[in-house]
Structure 1
Amino acid sequence: EEILGKSDPKKTLIEHTNDCLFWFQKVLDWNDILITKISEYYSISKPDLIKRLFMTVAFHDIGKATERFQDKVRGEILHSLESHALTSVPFIYEEIKNNPIKIIDDNPFFPEILAIASHHSKLKNGLFQDYQRMEINFADEGYFQTFYQNINQQAIELKIPNWQDLKINKKLFNENPYIILSDDILYYVGSYKYEKTYVVRDLFLLFKSVLHYCDWLASSNNTAYQYSTIENNESITDKMKLKESQFINWEPFQLHAAKSGSKNIFVQIPTGQGKTEASVLWATQNNDSQKIIFLLPTMVTTNKMWERMCRFFGGIDNVGLSHGTAKYVLREKEEDMEPEALRNHYLYNRTFFKPVTVATIDQLIYSFFNWGYWVLTGAASFNAKIIIDEIHIYDAYTFGLLLKVIECITPYNTQFAIMSASLPEVLKRELEKVLPDFELIKEEKYNSKQRHKIEVRDCLIKECVDDIIKDYEAKRNILVVCNTIAKAREIFDLLDENISIENRMLYHSQFILQDKKDKEDLLEGLKSRDTGFVAVCTQIVEVSLDIDFDILYTENAPIDAIIQRLGRVNRKGKIQKRITEMQFAKVVITRESEKSRNYVYKTLPKILSLTYSNLSKIANEQKGNITEKDLKNLVDIIYTEENLGDDYFEELNDAKDLIPIIWTDYLKNIYTINIDEARLHQISSRKSDYITVEAVLLRHYQEYNFDECIANNNYDLLRKYTIKVPLHIARKYASKKFNDTDIYLLDMKYDENYGLSLEQDDQNII
């Protein structure tokens, strides 16, 4: 019988191997600069690297030439263990055992074997420990001679350097692959010291990612796959002209970014002035087979950026979306797509496989925790143009993690565009330590620009309710930003008698996903509304939503957060075009509540006080006329090393040290972490005083059959009704936890206007 490699579509093992090797040269070309840099960085001959990568791809499936796998691929039920990945190990080991690609601490390192052994699983200590006595009945020796002849022929055709013909050694048919993997390969993984370099991780990442690309592309029959974008500055400009009828030319700072395409850049431009377009021009200029990765702080901002990038880069085939609810977003967007096509999109999105990926910052950080598909996301980050937006938004812990990630990536074929309207100089200096050669992109004309008339009041925000109502009656669109959900609900309720529910909205984190999406759509559609509207929100509204209000009332917050809130009113600075009597947006800043001082900003008490006092002073002196330069100066006056305090920098440095500690102590640089280990060691991309968990509400559970959804692995409907709540709330109000999931079922009151209430809903019964 034929020795099959694939069943759907049917392919012989040699055909599948040749399909993989068809892609091998393309994958080499895409990664040429990366391979060169790894060769130089770790003093490994580039021809040797290429030869070993070829052998990894050529031998990765030879273990399929067994009786048991052939039964399996033909649909027969197996009654004992089978692993073609493990069975392939002796064949590659025979060819390289006396000449490891790298000697580390006097011990051999074989990334080829580790890549092959784990190409259908996550690498971990004790991998295949249940397979010690796996029975193996190989195909006849003649088949293997043919297989080896084919490898030799492919090597000649691909001009693999220093190639010498390989021949099958009959003794391999009697080897125990588990013993080789355990005693000769994995045994050494835990013995390497990691003080000087990350050679173990980087080499494993290279070998396994090259194998995955060749194997996945060969199996997908996707001959049109693009590794990196075909767009350039000219095509992006043409698309901009189609999108914006008034567009004539790029701003000088955007052209400056485009000319700096081969450098790291720092874009310091006020919100709403075109930083994103500048980053797109930068990413598509001098792009040397590099992926483009956009990283943002929240899922909301990531979704919006994904939609924008789809317009620039040709839709969902070319632009991936990666975050916790990305599957749901894609399902909603592509309702008619076939399930198999959707599954491929899900996989490609999670692995940064597409030319462009838009993701939350957590997705990149977690890849350096060796989480999930970290090999592929990590490999993509080593060969990319990476744009990090709103970098000022992160606390000391996440900022420290990000600095370490950047440090790990910069030796390879990657450049960074860091974007912020309000990053303090003291934190910019921390960035300069890991990106010392960046080009600063700024625009002097924005320094004198004024978009707001600011009044700082010595009162609490609830004392402004009468003024909010008056502004609403004047048909203004008003944004109210509170620092806590409790305060936002209080203000929302105080408006109840004077403003109908159709003309006001409450928006915070404790809404189900579907209601959040509806509220975001409503906020972004307000531009065409002239009847007056009030949105009462928490900090959730600060980052990257493309919204534009006429008036802002906000509680005091750290100066960078205030600047973000200011960016949601008179965003483009053109308010007078729609309201002739308003030259600037009206802004009222009040004192913060005691709860927000003691809980939300408890680590920044000095920053909070200095923000209020400095804003009060400059607003009084300049009669509310505060320019963009004034705001930037305030950031640097308030955010000093002394004002941030020792605790801030201690936390930042602890976070920078965390990644090497995790690699060394738990993961030996290359093992994949699982969710239980992450929880045990409290490994997370964000630091919080409380852990949040996913939950659904009893009223929705009674309306929809969520048990059936989970049983059928259909989480799309369930995802619509998911809400994130603190773990202590979930434990207090949970009536049960769904089997085999971490989703809680909550018996709590909820409505689409108010969100989650801590009062139990008497109508809900189990």
Structure 2
Amino acid sequence: MNVLYSHPDYPLQHHIEGVRSLSTLFLNETKLEFSQQKWYQHLCESIALFHDIGKSSRYFQDYIRQRNVPQQLKSHALLSAFVFMSYIEQVDGVEDIWKWLAFLIVKRHHGDLDDWLEEFKQFDSDMKQQLSQQIESIDFALLNHTYEALFPIVTEQPFTKSQFEAAVEAMFTKSRKIRRGIMRWNEENESLVPYVQFLFLFSLLLDADKSEAGIMQKESWEFSERFTLPAHLVQVYKQKQQWERNAMNELREKAFQEIVDYKIDLNNHFYSLQLPTGMGKTLASLQFALRLREEMQTKKGVIPRVIYSLPFLSIIDQTGDVLKSIFQANGMDIDHRLFLSHHHLSEINYSVVKEEEKYDVNYDAAKLLIEGWNSEMILTTFVQLFHTIFTNKNRAIRKFHRLANAIIVIDEIQAIPHRYWLAVREMFQVLAKELNCYFLFSTATTPAIFDKRETIQLVEPSVYFQSLSRVQLVPHVQENMTVESFVEQLQLHEDKSYLFIVNTIDCAKKLYEQLAEVADQTVMTFLSTHIPPKERLRRIAAIKDGAYRIVVSTQLVEAGVDIDFDVVYRDLAPLDSIHQAAGRCNRHGLRAGEVHVVALTDGKRRYASYIYDLVRIDLTQSMLKTYEIVEEKGFFYLIEEYFQQLSSKMNNRESLQILKGIKTLYFDGEATTERVPVSQFRLIESGEERFDVFMELDEEASQIFQRFEEIVRIKNPFERQREFAAIKASFYQYVISIPRKVDHKPPILYNMGYVNLYSLADFYDQTMGYKTKSEGIIW
């Protein structure tokens, strides 16, 4: 053995040099104030140099040459951390707290973060024996030869066995002192800054390490190459559209021109674009983001990424289509270095256009490029964004440094749960200051997360609300109604279209059945998550084409789904949800629209209480009881009052607990009354336990599932993952999620429910989707 390897047939020396170069590049391109400090830069470089030094053990070298080695002995991160600590302890100008955190970065660079206090309680005799065996197996002559070119000091002071053994002894001796220091720090620290700077430093190593191994070793890739996105892209796109001239389009154009003419001050980091639904917020948001990007590039010398985040997958694809149309209108190829979509169902495909030729990056590199947000513009979900900021997960932290200088557009910000408003507000303020992030909140209903004095309004929203008279909101919430009594008093007119939005699938099914008795079923359709996505999308497209006059749906159509009705009935919900529902009514102002709010009950309790917390429901009901009719021009003031009252009634307990977890670097562990670990941050509450079911709706679904079964039988886990990625998006077009408690469960195959084409009628209603209740089927 005359060469140390980091990966099969790839020298350790080359890998470490590559990781050092990439982490330094990623650090320096940000030009952040804290990242320019010499001690921080030295820490970043030292972490890169030492992160894989444990791979010098004979056990790891045998493992990389495909020989059988005990699991614990082939590990390398722990030994690397001990050796790193012995070096960094001698470095002046680095505070003890950062030496301890850097130790954890090296130790955890292949795992998730834990409670950092617990990390220094785990030193036992088994650990010492493992480290001793690994040190005993190292060929130090070969190790020094490997490091001489990387770390010149090694020439004068070579690594030795006694030095490594002393490093282990020193850490075991100092661990109690370190724990006392951490406990003292946890009690004193009241800032989120260490958390942000720590995750930033950790992400530099994670991204450099994975990118060097998975991209640089396989592709001819230049990470320093960045691309210009002209600020006029959206304007060019708009000029090429054949939109008719009418009052609504003129109002949209007025708002857009305000964005074009707005004088940007880079001292302001928080912006709000509050416009009524259907007023072109997507194009306006993109226009402002591109202008801000150009301004930052000119005046700050940095190239910010634009991170456009949305709460729901249903509107990700819709927004993605808009972005593609903008690029195409400007004669630009869809190169993923310019724009990519990233969510849990994203296709693993990364295409690059060079010299007018398009080629696809290999699967492993493409996966890393997408998950690392290697693009100028990233379209992603709230879950991806917020679980990158509030996380202990290695995979999510990797892209944390991409937030530096980013322009973060948060579309439909009202979807952030109010239990996290305080935590989000405090974190965003630190991200703005430390990482130079800029935020644009785009919505029709801006919640009171930030004080109005902290955000810059790009347009005056009241002007646009007052200019509209598309819709009247009519509350009927004085008394609760059953679905039956509601339908009895309904009057449906054949010359109008109707959308009914209710809170639960059970309520939706019951309402549809009742309506089917008094209306023509050929003009009716039904939408809920118990209908597979492929069929849902088909129905939504048919609704847009005018195929259905009466639609019963759950809340899935509320935000961003571009459908339009004369009359909307909304079961009682928080006022911001009602406002979103109103956006599905008379969107283009061509007629008089009506939105009716009713309070439906199952005879025991309001359906709203199964979905929403009582604070928001009771506040909405009490506010609406005081009105007979609300004109659209009054929506702005109504929603403002709602959020002001909600803020005064809101309990900040969960935000305070997660903030305490962040301030004490409590990444994982048990929740207490005082603090909650960062790992327990949940943007979406899990609610009742559910499981996935694959529904073979058609022959295409049968073929997809047949391919899935072939993939499951592939023995190599990496090949299996790669093959499934190729069908993942299509596969999940046929998957629904149902509660585990349903009394009519499908057969379980490969740890998920499976309904084949031949038993479809037993489990699936062609109108209302999955049958959660048994109909006397004999098994």
The alignment's TM-score, normalised by the length of structure 1, stands at: 0.78
Deviation of 1:564 (Å): 0.7
Q: Which residue of structure 1 lines up, in the alignment, with residue 211 of structure 2?
A: 217
2: distance between equivalents of 1:645 and 1:245? 41
Pair 1:596-2:613 in alignment: no
2:57–2:139 contact (8 Å) kept in structure 1: no
Secondary structure of the corresponding residue to residue 522 of structure 1? helix
Residues 513-544 of structure 1: per-residue CA shift (max 9 Å, x gap): xx2343134314543x2454322112221111
2: distance between equivalents of 1:22 and 1:692? 46
Deviation of 1:640 (Å): 4.2
1: distance between equivalents of 2:642 and 2:398? 41
Secondary structure of the corresponding residue to residue 294 of structure 1? strand
2: distance between equivalents of 1:361 and 1:437? 20
2: distance between equivalents of 1:184 and 1:216? 32
Amino acid across the alignment from 2:39:
D
Q: Which residue of structure 2 lines up, in the alignment, with residue 518 of structure 1?
A: 535
Secondary structure of the corresponding residue to residue 74 of structure 2? coil
Q: Which residue of structure 2 lines up, in the alignment, with residue 375 of structure 1?
A: 397
Amino acid across the alignment from 2:260:
L
Amino acid across the alignment from 2:150:
I
Change in Cα spacing, 1:362 to 1:405, as seen in structure 2 (3 Å) is farther
Change in Cα spacing, 1:596 to 1:316, as seen in structure 2 (3 Å) is farther
Task: Select which of 294, 314, 326 maps to 2:345.
Answer: 326
2: distance between equivalents of 1:640 and 1:87? 54
Change in Cα spacing, 1:411 to 1:300, as seen in structure 2 (3 Å) is same
Q: Which residue of structure 2 lines up, in the alignment, with residue 694 of structure 1?
A: 691
Residues 205-262 of structure 1: per-residue CA shift (max 9 Å, x gap): 2322112232233221251447876313134433454577779998223225683566
Change in Cα spacing, 1:149 to 1:559, as seen in structure 2 (3 Å) is same
2: distance between equivalents of 1:226 and 1:294? 22
Task: Select which of 235, 258, 267 maps to 2:273.
Answer: 267
1: distance between equivalents of 2:169 and 2:754? 46
Deviation of 1:507 (Å): 1.2
Match runs of 1:511-590 below 5 Å: 511=531, 515-524=532-541, 526-527=543-544, 529-573=545-589, 575=590, 583-590=591-598
1:292–1:357 contact (8 Å) kept in structure 2: yes
Task: Select which of 442, 448, 473 maps to 1:419.
Answer: 442
Match runs of 1:113-132 below 5 Å: 113-124=103-114, 125=118, 131-132=127-128
- Between 222-231 and 563-572, report the one with greater CA deviation: 222-231
Q: Which residue of structure 1 lines up, in the alignment, with residue 459 of structure 2?
A: 441
Task: Select which of 130, 133, 147 maps to 2:129.
Answer: 133
Task: Select which of 147, 153, 157 maps to 1:167.
Answer: 157
Task: Select which of 67, 84, 89 maps to 1:97.
Answer: 89
Deviation of 1:448 (Å): 1.4
Secondary structure of the corresponding residue to residue 272 of structure 2? strand
Task: Select which of 517, 522, 527 maps to 1:507.
Answer: 527
Residues 413-446 of structure 1: per-residue CA shift (max 9 Å, x gap): 11111122123xxx53x4129x825445335345
Task: Select which of 175, 199, 204 maps to 1:205.
Answer: 199
Pair 1:432-2:445 in alignment: no
Pair 1:683-2:680 in alignment: yes
1:254–1:275 contact (8 Å) kept in structure 2: no
Change in Cα spacing, 1:281 to 1:690, as seen in structure 2 (3 Å) is same
Task: Select which of 62, 81, 88 maps to 2:80.
Answer: 88
- Between 384-393 and 344-353, report the one with greater CA deviation: 344-353
Pair 1:37-2:34 in alignment: yes
Q: How many correspondences in the alignment?
A: 700
CA RMSD, Structure 1 to Structure 2 (Å): 4.5
Deviation of 1:26 (Å): 2.5
Deviation of 1:483 (Å): 3.0
Q: Which residue of structure 2 lines up, in the alignment, with residue 759 of structure 1?
A: 773
The alignment's TM-score, normalised by the length of structure 2, stands at: 0.76
Pair 1:608-2:620 in alignment: yes
Change in Cα spacing, 1:685 to 1:29, as seen in structure 2 (3 Å) is same
Pair 1:656-2:676 in alignment: no
Q: Which residue of structure 1 lines up, in the alignment, with residue 50 of structure 2?
A: 59
Task: Select which of 369, 390, 393 maps to 2:412.
Answer: 390
Change in Cα spacing, 1:289 to 1:338, as seen in structure 2 (3 Å) is closer
Pair 1:111-2:101 in alignment: yes
Change in Cα spacing, 1:12 to 1:26, as seen in structure 2 (3 Å) is same
Deviation of 1:149 (Å): 3.1
2:311–2:415 contact (8 Å) kept in structure 1: yes
2: distance between equivalents of 1:169 and 1:280? 54
**Consecutive unaligned residues in structure 2, runs of 5 or more:** 297-301, 328-333, 353-357, 715-719
Deviation of 1:53 (Å): 1.3
Amino acid across the alignment from 1:447:
Q
1: distance between equivalents of 2:198 and 2:476? 58
Q: Which residue of structure 2 lines up, in the alignment, with residue 281 of structure 1?
A: 287
Task: Select which of 480, 485, 488 maps to 2:500.
Answer: 480
Q: Which residue of structure 2 lines up, in the alignment, with residue 72 of structure 1?
A: 63
1:259–1:282 contact (8 Å) kept in structure 2: no
1:483–1:592 contact (8 Å) kept in structure 2: no
Change in Cα spacing, 1:99 to 1:171, as seen in structure 2 (3 Å) is same
Change in Cα spacing, 1:149 to 1:196, as seen in structure 2 (3 Å) is same
Secondary structure of the corresponding residue to residue 229 of structure 2? coil
Secondary structure of the corresponding residue to residue 416 of structure 1? strand
- Between 247-256 and 535-544, report the one with greater CA deviation: 247-256
1: distance between equivalents of 2:159 and 2:173? 21
Q: Which residue of structure 1 lines up, in the alignment, with residue 331 of structure 2?
A: none
1: distance between equivalents of 2:669 and 2:384? 14
Deviation of 1:616 (Å): 1.6
Percent identical residues: 17
2:315–2:560 contact (8 Å) kept in structure 1: yes
2: distance between equivalents of 1:108 and 1:100? 12
1:273–1:572 contact (8 Å) kept in structure 2: no
Task: Select which of 512, 516, 528 maps to 1:492.
Answer: 512
1:100–1:110 contact (8 Å) kept in structure 2: no
2: distance between equivalents of 1:128 and 1:709? 42
Residues 705-743 of structure 1: per-residue CA shift (max 9 Å, x gap): 78876675666376444433445x26x66688778x6x5
Q: Which residue of structure 2 lines up, in the alignment, with residue 157 of structure 1?
A: none
Residues 397-420 of structure 1: per-residue CA shift (max 9 Å, x gap): 143443343244232211111122
Secondary structure of the corresponding residue to residue 230 of structure 1? coil
1: distance between equivalents of 2:420 and 2:693? 28
Secondary structure of the corresponding residue to residue 419 of structure 1? strand
1: distance between equivalents of 2:286 and 2:606? 41
1: distance between equivalents of 2:772 and 2:48? 56
1: distance between equivalents of 2:442 and 2:640? 17
Q: Which residue of structure 1 lines up, in the alignment, with residue 635 of structure 2?
A: 631
2: distance between equivalents of 1:228 and 1:508? 42
Change in Cα spacing, 1:452 to 1:114, as seen in structure 2 (3 Å) is same
Secondary structure of the corresponding residue to residue 150 of structure 1? coil
Residues 157-210 of structure 1: per-residue CA shift (max 9 Å, x gap): xxxxxx998732324565277666666579736535233334553343232211
2: distance between equivalents of 1:694 and 1:118? 32
2: distance between equivalents of 1:85 and 1:2? 22
Change in Cα spacing, 1:533 to 1:167, as seen in structure 2 (3 Å) is farther
Residues 17-62 of structure 1: per-residue CA shift (max 9 Å, x gap): 33334434421332222xx1366xxxxxx12221221222223223
Amino acid across the alignment from 2:567:
I
Secondary structure of the corresponding residue to residue 373 of structure 1? helix
**Consecutive unaligned residues in structure 1, runs of 5 or more:** 40-45, 154-162, 576-582, 619-625
Pair 1:231-2:202 in alignment: no
Change in Cα spacing, 1:669 to 1:736, as seen in structure 2 (3 Å) is farther
Secondary structure of the corresponding residue to residue 488 of structure 1? helix
Residues 79-126 of structure 1: per-residue CA shift (max 9 Å, x gap): 45212333333443333213366436xx67333332222222224445
